[in-house]
């Protein structure tokens, strides 16, 4: 079960690598649909994405995030193949059955386990409104790396965040500085850096890549709380 830790500095890692993905948002709350985005966080492996054996994304590149898409609530089979495969009979990830509740907001992340094996995780994004002038900050550990500590001013304020867990906090809008180190150390593997917390939005930071390969990096997803639109539909 993914635990949520209350921390105040965890998303300062974002600006360190200069990688961002477009802002995402929630669809209006109607009908029997959920909203789903997809992040590809497996290094060096372009893929095709299938939902219920229909190809919905072709040649999906590492570091890319797409969506949100509207999908009918309920259980769906998701799998990923090597890019431009003829079908989904030989997936590199899956097949996995994922269940989506109506009017909920999700992100599917294809990533590496702590041991370096390809896998997929489903995160439910909290789109409830934060107080006026505040935003929600979330960090998700999706890297082939051991537990990490979140550092503020060189001091660990969160210990042992593990793959695929997340940490979140509602904070006043403004700038936050932080860095990430392997648990028990103080040498940053990402950061230190600064990120802006925006009011009425969730800023979700995904740490991905491989510590052993030296390619740890981040992707960023921004979700507008309760309000928004969707970019397409996986409805057949």
Q: For 46-59, what is the mean pLDDT?
A: 96
DSSP H/E element including 17: helix 14-17
CA distances from 165 to 9, 86, 104, 226 (A): 17, 34, 19, 23
**Averaged pLDDT of the chain:** 83
**How is residue 52 annotated by DSSP?**
T
pLDDT for the residue 235 = 61
Kindly report, residue by residue over 58-95, the tens digit of the pLDDT: 999 999 999 999 999 999 999 999 999 999 999 999 99
Q: For 8-28, what is the mean pLDDT?
A: 39
Candidate from 3-12, 45-54, 171-180, 219-228 with smallest mean pLDDT: 3-12
For 97, the token pair is: 């059955």
Kindly report, residue by residue over 141-189, the tens digit of the pLDDT: 999 999 998 776 677 767 899 999 998 888 889 887 777 888 989 888 8
pLDDT for the residue 19 = 38
Q: For 115-144, what is the mean pLDDT?
A: 94
* Sign for the pseudo-dihedral over CA of 121, 176, 197, 220: negative
Per-residue pLDDT for 16 more than 90? no
Q: For 25-40, what is the mean pLDDT?
A: 71
Per-residue pLDDT for 196 more than 60? yes
Tokens 């639109």 sit at which residue? 229
Nearest to 66 by CA among 48, 44, 87: 48
Kindly report, residue by residue over 89-115, the tens digit of the pLDDT: 999 999 999 999 999 999 999 999 999
Task: Give residue limits of the domains in the chain.
Answer: 10-226
Q: What is the DSSP string of 168-205?
A: EEEEESEEEEEEEEETT--SEEEEEEEEEEPTTEEEEE
User: pLDDT-based confidence at 201, cuts 50/70/90?
Assistant: very high
């Amino acid at each position: 079960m993914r635990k949520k830790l209350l921390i105040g500095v965890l998303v300062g890692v974002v600006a360190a690598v200069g990688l961002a993905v477009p802002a995402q948002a929630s669809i209006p709350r109607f009908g029997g649909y959920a909203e789903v985005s997809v992040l590809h966080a497996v290094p060096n492996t372009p893929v095709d994405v299938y939902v219920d054996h229909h190809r919905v994304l072709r040649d999906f590149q590492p570091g890319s995030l797409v969506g949100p898409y509207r999908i009918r609530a309920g259980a769906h089979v998701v799998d990923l193949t090597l890019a431009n495969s003829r079908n989904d009979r030989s997936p590199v990830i899956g097949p996995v059955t994922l269940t989506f509740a109506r009017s909920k907001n999700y992100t599917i992340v294809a990533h590496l386990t702590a041991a370096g094996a390809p896998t997929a995780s489903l995160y439910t994004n909290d789109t409830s409104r934060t107080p006026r002038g505040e935003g929600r900050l979330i960090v998700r550990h999706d890297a082939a790396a051991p537990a990490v500590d979140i550092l503020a001013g060189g001091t660990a304020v969160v210990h042992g965040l593990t793959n695929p867990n997340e940490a979140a906090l509602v904070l006043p809008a403004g700038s936050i500085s932080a860095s990430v180190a392997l648990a028990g150390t103080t040498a940053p593997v990402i950061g230190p850096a600064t990120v802006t917390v925006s009011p009425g939005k969730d800023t979700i930071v995904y740490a991905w890549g491989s510590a052993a390969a030296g390619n740890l990096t981040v992707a960023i997803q921004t979700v507008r709380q309760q309000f928004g639109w969707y970019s397409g539909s996986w409805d057949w």
